[in-house]
Structure 1
């Protein structure tokens, strides 16, 4: 009976991943951005005078991304890019993305959720899956890891902020 329940759980997880993949990662990415909010700082080129800084809604994270890289003629810039520290219900999540040859070559977890033993287990389970999927997709637009929604949302938001710095 226990084996049947385990197999049913695995089947349900795979089904969720397949369905999410079939309907496109764009909806997941949009939902992720909407649930966490994003911080945008820059200069306005529209209605406001040039040079006027604009700031979007913040997700409450205190850390900002940092960049170390070289410039390329066009496309993504090679280097290491640290994403923003994303606050989740179970702790902060932050990653560093390595770009070489204009492609994502590595994603390193700098900080994962740590509020309780179960949260640590979930993050340790989800992080390698998310790393692999981001490298394979060359994007933060990948499906959620079933059972690790908060970790996935924080991880992918941090990845996206690093990719934005790299010029993806």
Structure 2
């Protein structure tokens, strides 16, 4: 009789605890400018959600000439948005002389403070690693596995578009 009462009380307590948990809310994305590189691009950011951006490469290309008379071109390529458990992740790379000079994260989960905290730490680390490696073969950031996986996927897409 005593065991029945204890097991019933434990079961009821467990059910109450399960029902009191709040699930992770559905993520919305934000357009933001988190970038790292030798040539920082200035872009304005707006809070709120982002409309569905084009996953194709952006065709902006600019030429600059150096003192020796030769010209180099700088191109930007936007990777496809990678869907993660908490929302899409999308990056845009700047390529100059077949080298990645800048990476800008244009879309990432930022619906709640926890997402913002994780991504404000993880995305600059991922940017630095990718620029150093000049490829998408980089390590994940501990605690930001979903964001890291989405970042690598979008980065690889942009690198493929650039032909690197």
Same fold (TM over 0.5): yes
Structure 1 ranges of 4+ moved more than 6 A: none
Structure having the larger proportion of residues in helix: 1
Are 1:152 and 2:143 counterparts?
A: no
Match of residue 80 from structure 1: 76
**Structure 2: segments with no counterpart, 5+ residues:** 1-51, 62-72
Look up the SS of the partner of 2:94 in the other structure: strand
Deviations 1:120-158 (A, max 9, x none): 111111010000000000001000001100110111111
Relative to the length of structure 1, the TM-score reads 0.56
Relative to the length of structure 2, the TM-score reads 0.57
RMSD of aligned C-alpha atoms?
A: 1.9
Aligned length: 102
Deviations 1:90-133 (A, max 9, x none): 11111100000110000001011123210111111101000000
**In structure 1, what is the Cα distance between the partners aligned to 2:128 and 2:84?**
22
**1:62–1:106 Cα change, 3 Å:** closer
**Structure 1: segments with no counterpart, 5+ residues:** 1-60, 71-76
Q: Is the 8 A contact 1:112 1:120 kept in 2?
A: no
| Cα offset, 1:66, TM superposition | 2.0
Deviations 1:20-78 (A, max 9, x none): xxxxxxxxxxxxxxxxxxxxxxxxxxxxxxxxxxxxxxxxx9852223266xxxxxx85
